[in-house]
Structure 1
Amino acid sequence: MTQRPPLPYDQLPPVPAFTLTSEDFEAGVTLPDRHVYAADNVSPQLSWSGAPEGTESYVVTCYDPDAPTGSGFWHWVLIDVPKEVTSLPGGAGTGAFPGLPDGAVHVRNDYGSRDFGGAAPPPGDPAHRYVFAVHAVDLPKLGPDGDASPAYVGFNLHFHTLGRAVLVAEYAAPKE
């Protein structure tokens, strides 16, 4: 059996953890079809608590380390979420962006769009992991704009992350 790539944050210096939950799924379960690219493609509801003191904003991401690319696949990168915000309703990252906080900026994902792009592993692949993370940031604005790459956002996060909350679900596409 092929060894799975490590989770992305296992490779970075540790930061304090805080809590991330979703009304749509629990850690370790199969991601509901509602959050699949070829189905409804709706961003999940997320709530977080316990961010470290000094938090000035948040960055929300979703990453698939199991994508057959050699570099994983970024499904969602939302920066500059105001520090007063501690949840996003379902759909805040898709469609008309209902409930997206003022000032928050979508960075282009690996689909090339500025929104949430749902799970889309190749048919027949083992289940992929979808790592949802909320990063507590020590700046009100991280710096990059919506044209930045997810890697550039990650580079900036390396220097400004005070804490991180992570929630992982899995999804396998039906075999063709």
Structure 2
Amino acid sequence: MIKKIFLVSLFFITISGISFAEEFLLSSPALEPGKNLGIEQVYFGFGCTGKNISPALNWKGAPADTKSFAITVYDPDAPTGSGWWHWIIFNIPAAVNDIKENAGNPSLKLAPKHSIQSITDYGKPGYGGACPPEGDKPHRYIFTLYALDMEKLPLDANASGAMVGFYLNQHALAKATLTALYSR
């Protein structure tokens, strides 16, 4: 009996010493998970008439040893055989926990200092909004935030989505996603 009491006491002492990490979460005041993107996030071009504004994004609960962040927006439903990269931004400093609306427009310089926006499948850096083929099923736009174990990826603004993705998956401590939909 004393042995059981000792083991139960030891169990509770051990559990009380564990600190449970906060869940790594990505959110946006402009996006509702599983709901349609607004006209603000839709591309302007290729037959689409949106405003091509990247949404504000916020996050919390990153692992304590995070050295930088990266964000990608990817459409796995694009009829290309390989999906479509809509936004790639990396080398976001670890002290940052949000991205301003329209930070995906490199000319406005709203992205965090020292971050890099690389080439999307539209052929240029910065945010390129949703523009699926007319009449196609709703496409998924997956916003993924990566907490990384390195301060800077050894890449520049000419890096492809595949190359950035390689480094992100090699150095991710945690990922948080937010998926929105769009069709036309």
TM-score by length of 1: 0.87
Structure 1: 4+ residue segments shifted above 6 A: none
Give the 3-state SS of the residue equivalent to 2:178 in structure 1: strand
CA distance in 2, matches of 1:117, 1:107: 11
Give the 3-state SS of the residue equivalent to 1:53 in structure 2: coil
Q: Which whole-Å deviations, capped at 9, do the CAs of 1:35-84 have from their partners, x for residues lacking one?
A: 00021000001000001121000001100000000100000000100101
Give the structure 2 partner of residue 40 of structure 1. Answer: 51
**Partner of residue 37 from structure 2, selected from 24, 31, 42:** 31
Aligned length: 158
Give the structure 2 partner of residue 127 of structure 1. Answer: 138
Give 5+ residue unaligned stretches, structure 1: 1-15
CA distance in 2, matches of 1:138, 1:149: 21
Q: Partner letter of residue 24 of structure 2?
A: F
Give the structure 2 partner of residue 139 of structure 1. Answer: 150
Q: Partner letter of residue 35 of structure 1?
A: Q
Give identity over the alignment, percent. Answer: 44
Q: Partner letter of residue 81 of structure 1?
A: I
**Partner of residue 71 from structure 2, selected from 57, 60, 64:** 60
TM-score by length of 2: 0.83
Matched, 1:154 2:158: no
Higher percent of residues as helix: 2
Give 5+ residue unaligned stretches, structure 2: 1-21, 45-49
Q: Partner letter of residue 90 of structure 2?
A: I
**Partner of residue 19 from structure 1, selected from 11, 14, 25:** 25
Give the 3-state SS of the residue equivalent to 1:96 in structure 2: helix
Root-mean-square deviation (CA, aligned residues, Å) is 1.3
Larger RCO, structure (CA 8 Å, separation 6 or more): 1
